[in-house]
Structure 1
Amino acid sequence: MKNLNRIIVLLFLFLGLSNFAQNGPPTFTKIKVTGKIIAKKNNQPLEDATITLKNQKNPKAISGGITNSKGEFDADVIPGVYDITIDFISFKSINITGKNITEKTSLGTIALEDDASQLNEVVIRSEKSTVEIKLDKKVYNVGQDMMVKGGTVSDVLDNIPSVSVDTEGNVSLRGSDNIRILIDGRPSYAVNIAEALRQLPADAIDKVEVITNPSARYDAEGGSGILNIILKKGKNKGFNGTLIASGGIPETYGLSANVNYKTEKLNYFSTVGYNSRTNEGGGKTNSEYFNPDKSTKNFLDEDRETQRTRDGFNGRAGVEWTVAPNTYWTNALNYENNTGNTNDVINYQNYDATHNFTGTTYRLNNGDTNSENISYTSNLIKNFNDKGHKLTVDATLSRDNDDSQSIITGSQNYNNTLNNQVQKQAQIQADYVLPIGEGSQFEAGYKGSFGDLNNQYYVLDEQGTRIPNLSNTLEYKENINALYSQYGFKKNKFSYLFGLRWEDTNIHVNLLDNNDFNTKKYNNFFPSAFISYELSDQSNITTSYSKRLTRPRGRFMNPAVNYSSNVNIFQGNPDLDPSLTNKFDVGYIKRWDKVTFNTSAYFEDTKDVFSFVRSPTGDEVNGVPVIKSQPINLGKEQKYGFEFTLNYTPFKIWRVNSNFNLYNVKTTGEHSYTDTKGNLIVQNLDNQANTWFARINSKLTLPYKIDWQLSAMYNGEQKTAQGKNLDQFSMNTAFSKDLFKDKATLAFNISDILNSRIMRSYTYLDNQTSYSEMQFRKRQFNLSFTYRFNKAKNEKEKNQAPKNDSGNDGDFPG
């Protein structure tokens, strides 16, 4: 009953605000009412507590608000006498009657008591808002998304507006893969981030922060923005948790558990999971080759069938210690171990100039992989008072081993490739937040990141002899030191946030086999600015600017040759320089009773942008030219676009949200290289292209309380400097049903219903034209069963310690 009352109060609050917006502003000035809500038992702020003010003489004149992460609220009311109600789940309500408000009023700090009679019976059926809009980021709560039950983090990200994941697991934001991915505010140091995201189970995720234009408090890395994945960490007292079992076709199954035990001073949390996945995929590349006079030389069709199996274990355990009422220390250990096998078969069909069949060959790549990652994190929060004055210190140590071996056999050759990568990383970070007066806040901090990667790569011939020009040993060391400060304040309807970050980078790229040592040192200032104007209680407009940097890493800089195909190869470039981006964004948000509309226009100007180029090497295999794909610093890229997100709830049982992104990309630059015959080749790579992306998601409650979710995604065609990428469409669906008095949930989902998620592209070179298709994962069916013990579905956590989800996230005041 108490939950129903709270929902009714919120409903009347929204109706009152809607009525106010429709009738226009009154003839007299509004008055601001402020205050703070805390838990009486431990003086901790209560986020999302509801404050309702009802005018005694005009019942339609309802105002109010919801507290922020510091427990603070403010509301605008017309002068009059009000009845005030303060509500928070599992706490006793407070009612203030007959409060005469004629001038700016502070209700002070209001302490709520536990309502013991409600603790054992509360179940909130309404879900938390899908998205929270903050000044410098959007926070998407994904815990109840049926579409990702039994899935992975990659599946979660692929359901987030503005974010997309391609068939190979690469993540992009607003159409760009130039982004930084964080987990709990810290970089993921996995050697292969795409594979790491596919191994982490979806049920370990609490929410995802999308930061398209980061402020100075965040790393400068990520030219197009940052994705911060927040993992679950229970806060409910006592012993509670969730168990999830899943299975699917193609053969996929997993078992995971999130368990939590909380006492007065200690909170033990853990996540453990095992999954085994089989991904079936494939593709083809059909090429036509030309003579110097542009006449047809011959044709080659490549058909590829791929099966990847992965077995993964991940475990995370930690404890949060309330050292003192205002001091919290959290330590956690994370361990991941993944093994896998890849069976990749390529059949080559050869044709002459008139397309008459001349013969066939094959190439079989049978590879085994094993990776092990262990990391330790420590986080200390010291609150100097209850007004946001605090110091946060973070430390991280990690080590990642990634080994792989492939045996490549073919009609005329045999090779064995060995790859061993060891990456070590240490990070220390300190952040200080100081509120200054009402609505103002100063922040400053330091971050040091120190990494070391050693990569040994060998290609062996039929006699087991190392092939020198295809093998190498890479040593990569990266040390980054950063300082930042920012100041935010609120004045009338304007909110401001200005910051400056300085980063000093020292990188060593050493090829040990040939004593090729390279050092790259640079330091940069990264300013940021955010200005928001509150048009009304339901709408505001925001403009922002930041300078960003993207450092080349991983496979981009590793000169090891990807040898899975002997005519289409990939090779990294250790001489890549970082790219710098200036980002501008103007956003607008409007809320109605059933609709939330959020839109933005953006512009990005990048120099030394990374781009992949395909170039003939000058070599041939059975008369077929060998084409190498390699990243380069192209020159300059300018991108401008328009994006909107629409959330619509036409009925209580139906919710629809959609996202649309349209952008134009213009690149200018050329690429010069010398082929194996000593010829200097110059490629003009100027290009301008328009493309768009759209996603729609619908969730409907059917009879018998069965939830149905359906989503569809479309990527438009895009022209590239050397061809074009064709459009792509896919659909997913899911059904779920709560069982055993809502203690359990059974969910069934189908990924890629139409089996249409295929990357298709054309490439046009001087001596070759190719059409390619690639499908990393075919249609999948998955069934999952979730059981919750001592924990109600969607239960609102209470008595929470001050948040620090994003590592150094001091929320802007107001």
Structure 2
Amino acid sequence: MAFFTVGSLPAQLVITGTVQDSQSSEPLQYASVSMVDAEADTIATGGLTNETGHFRITGVLPGIYFLEIEFIGYQKVRSAVFATDSMKQSLQNLGEFFLEPDVLELDAVDVAISAPAIMSAATKTIYDPNQLYSATGGTCCDIMKSIPSIDVDADGQVSLRGSPEVAILLNGKRAGILGGGRHTNIMAVPVPAVMVDRVEVITSPSASQDADGMVGIINIVLKENKASGFNGHVNVNAGTTNKYNAGAYFNFRKGSINHFWNISTEDLSQSGSAYRRSTLVFPGGENSSLSLRTVETNSRNRMSYLSGGTRYEISENTFFKGEAKLVPFQRDQDEAIDLDGQHLFLSKREDGFLQLLDLGFILEQERKYRLSGDIALENQGWNSRQNGEENGTVMDMSLKGETDMNRSILNLDYELFLTPSIKLETGVKDRYLAQDRLRIVLFQSSGSDVDFRYWERVKAAYLNLEYITFMEDMVFSAGIRLEDAETKGTFGLDIGLDTLLGFPDGLIADTEAYLTKYRKLYPSFLVRYTPSRLTAFQAGYSARVNRPTADFVDPFPRNLFEPSVLNTGNLNLEPEFIHALDLKFSQVLPSWSWEAAVFGQRIENMIRDDEDLMNGASVITWKNAGNGSNLGLEGRVKFKPLPFWVMTLTGLYFRTETDQAIEADLTGRLSGFHGKITQVFTFSKGGILELDSRLYGPQTIPTGT
């Protein structure tokens, strides 16, 4: 006879609470919460706080414990000893914990250490604008310039890891003032730095995010004040470089309804100069037709941003939200061009207005499910004018244009916790864009029409699975995204207009149709291992795409009054398809921290600048060069030479090359080096001084001939 004894395992409990800054009462995200066995004095389990400062520790066995809560830049907090008993309750809320900013008292210096400027999470790197002191009093553009891996050129074009092929979002959306172009001009975002809550840099996006952008995503998250009563903030700044901006945000909350408003305006003037030296090299090696083109540019951008909305909360995690945005803008640009004794003065002006309506909702039960959806409806319209002078004489030709753009984005996302450690994400998205460009070329007493229409629709569905180990030291994420994309473009101009304007024969066909239609799968995965709270390894892969936008396919010349150098689009461009791999290692030590990353992309249908000679004119456009690759190294080291002096060194090397070019003249290598030194001095009597310096190594840039 056999006897079996059946026993039950001890029931497990859930411990919750919140962590906040003691001075501002703001929630602290990514604070480390360790649950220590009081009798054995060993860590039993633990977790991290989320964006609301909330932590949830599962799988806790009955016993006697205390909590140790840590966050970089704050003093460690130890809770009172408490007991857990599954017979009494399965969920135990320990309430709120407040962390004090750390202070080092030295002989002659008191150094207050605030929250870190950079936080590394599983899927993104987060930058706190409040700790980027050189951006204080500036705009969103100044914040971008202060982030190590981001570069902003003189025209406001943003690059990440040396490439402008980056998707930039505002509160997770592309719609709105960021426009619909392939490259983003960050100066077109009239948002003061004080209104930005954080900037997220995502180099290994998951399947839940759009596949656009070769090197990743930059998400600008604006502040949202939810305090009770009437609250607000006003900021006014003026600079000696003809830079003025002002902004204010307010909210009024009573009960479950919160009304909010954001207002900002910016007036920015810039000037610069550039030159372009061209030499025609024949196959035999002889040189001919040396020319030098110099350009002096003066520009002024004036823009305002007005938004207002209402948020209705059913519970802490369930709400409905509606917001409307209005953005009037005006851009002026003057160019003085000298080319082989020819003196041109060109004047361009744009006046426009943007309207955006954004509606959304979130229904959530924490650690169980989350359902969210939103719709964005946008209309932009602007008028443009161009005229010029040649050798001091007003040209007989001028240009007027009208552009109308409509966009809608609809998406629905659902998250489900299958277990406390496994999360399933799925969703659908429908994105639509239509743009009409009507231009009238006035030549002497007659006018001719040029019409370009661009249409794009992308429908997507995704599935992503995330697994976090019990001790949260490893994260696994894998997903797949299916996109059905279609783009169309039509172009027409009055018969004989190209000849009348002096364009080379065959440069622009009277009518053409552009059509790209494809269905493609974009897989992704991410593995992150944190053997300790201060050390992390990460590897990620994602398939990406760069779709040619209206500016890249519109064949009408951008510089109409200078027929010797023509910049045009290419109606035959195909999308770039990318396989991107990212490896990262970071470590925080007692006196210094460092991070290193290796990244690479394999690119199909690589798009490159190409320059050809047609009837003596230099025609610059874009072409699909073939297959290629982009490789790079990125590093950052932060240390303190003295207690009041913090120094950060960052460096980036990248190399892009075409190895299977369709045309021989499109084979080549683009490479470069960027470096930055940031020094922050904190004075004992109050005040902070930040000094930034950048180093740009010489870049090798190939072009066709």
Q: Same fold (TM over 0.5)?
A: yes
Q: Which residue identity lines up with residue 571 of structure 1 in the other structure?
A: T
Shift, 1:333, TM fit = 1.0
Shift, 1:605, TM fit = 0.2
CA distance 1:48–1:239, shift in 2 (3 Å): farther
Match of 1:284, SS state, is strand
Mapped pair 1:449 → 2:426: no
Shift, 1:611, TM fit = 0.6
Match of 2:8? none
* Structure 1 stretches lacking a partner, 5+ long: 1-31, 116-123, 351-359, 620-625, 673-682, 723-763, 766-814
1:253-272 correspondence runs (5 A): 253-272=244-263
Shift, 1:464, TM fit = 4.3
Q: Which residue identity lines up with residue 528 of structure 2 in the other structure?
A: S
2:579, 2:283 → 1: CA distance? Answer: 43
Length, aligned pairs only: 645
1:403-802 correspondence runs (5 A): 403-411=383-391, 413-466=395-448, 472-491=450-469, 493-513=473-493, 514-563=510-559, 565-619=562-616, 626-649=617-640, 653-670=644-661, 683-722=664-703, 765=705
1:152, 1:34 → 2: CA distance? Answer: 43
User: How far does the alpha carbon of each residue in 1:214-236 deviate from its partner, in whole angstroms, 9 at most, with x for none?
Assistant: 11010011122111111121133
Mapped pair 1:216 → 2:207: yes
2:16, 2:27 → 1: CA distance? Answer: 8
Does the 8 Å CA contact 1:38/1:109 hold for their aligned counterparts? no
Does the 8 Å CA contact 1:94/1:112 hold for their aligned counterparts? no
* Structure 2 stretches lacking a partner, 5+ long: 1-11, 21-25, 99-110, 494-509
Shift, 1:574, TM fit = 1.8
Q: Which residue identity lines up with residue 312 of structure 1 in the other structure?
A: M
1:503, 1:64 → 2: CA distance? Answer: 39
Shift, 1:81, TM fit = 6.7
Match of 1:170? 157
TM-score for the superposition, normalised by structure 2: 0.83
1:435, 1:453 → 2: CA distance? Answer: 41
User: How far does the alpha carbon of each residue in 1:89-128 deviate from its partner, in whole angstroms, 9 at most, with x for none?
Assistant: 9xxx994326599x9xx9943152699xxxxxxxx97533
Q: Which residue identity lines up with residue 333 of structure 2 in the other structure?
A: T
Match of 1:251 among 239, 242, 264: 242
CA distance 1:85–1:685, shift in 2 (3 Å): closer
Match of 2:362? 381
1:342-421 correspondence runs (5 A): 342-348=333-339, 350=340, 360-383=341-364, 385-411=365-391, 413-421=395-403
Match of 2:136? 149
CA distance 1:482–1:198, shift in 2 (3 Å): closer
2:667, 2:257 → 1: CA distance? Answer: 59
2:360, 2:30 → 1: CA distance? Answer: 25
Shift, 1:712, TM fit = 1.5
Mapped pair 1:139 → 2:126: yes
Greater mean deviation of Cα atoms: 457-466 or 588-597: 457-466
Match of 2:146, SS state, is coil
Match of 2:130, SS state, is coil
CA distance 1:98–1:136, shift in 2 (3 Å): closer
Q: Which residue identity lines up with residue 458 of structure 2 in the other structure?
A: I
Match of 2:165, SS state, is coil
2:368, 2:145 → 1: CA distance? Answer: 35
1:136, 1:387 → 2: CA distance? Answer: 19
Does the 8 Å CA contact 2:141/2:186 hold for their aligned counterparts? no
1:45, 1:111 → 2: CA distance? Answer: 16
Greater mean deviation of Cα atoms: 485-494 or 310-319: 485-494
Match of 1:336 among 327, 340, 364: 327
Does the 8 Å CA contact 2:204/2:216 hold for their aligned counterparts? yes
Does the 8 Å CA contact 2:45/2:57 hold for their aligned counterparts? no
User: How far does the alpha carbon of each residue in 1:576-613 deviate from its partner, in whole angstroms, 9 at most, with x for none?
Assistant: 11110011122212122243322221221000011111
Match of 1:693, SS state, is strand
Greater mean deviation of Cα atoms: 512-521 or 155-164: 512-521
Match of 1:109? 92
1:41-190 correspondence runs (5 A): 47=29, 51=33, 66-69=48-51, 71-72=54-55, 83-84=66-67, 95-97=79-81, 108-112=91-95, 126-189=113-176, 190=179
Shift, 1:662, TM fit = 2.0
Does the 8 Å CA contact 1:594/1:650 hold for their aligned counterparts? no
Aligned-pair Cα RMSD in Å: 3.6
CA distance 1:598–1:61, shift in 2 (3 Å): same
User: How far does the alpha carbon of each residue in 1:616-662 deviate from its partner, in whole angstroms, 9 at most, with x for none?
Assistant: 1223xxxxxx2111011111111222222233356664333332222
CA distance 1:153–1:566, shift in 2 (3 Å): farther
CA distance 1:150–1:96, shift in 2 (3 Å): closer
Shift, 1:315, TM fit = 0.8
CA distance 1:595–1:330, shift in 2 (3 Å): farther
Greater relative CO, 1 or 2 (CA 8 Å, sep 6+) = 1
1:554, 1:542 → 2: CA distance? Answer: 36
1:319, 1:60 → 2: CA distance? Answer: 48
| Aligned-residue identity in percent | 20
Q: Which residue identity lines up with residue 130 of structure 2 in the other structure?
A: G
Q: Which residue identity lines up with residue 426 of structure 2 in the other structure?
A: A
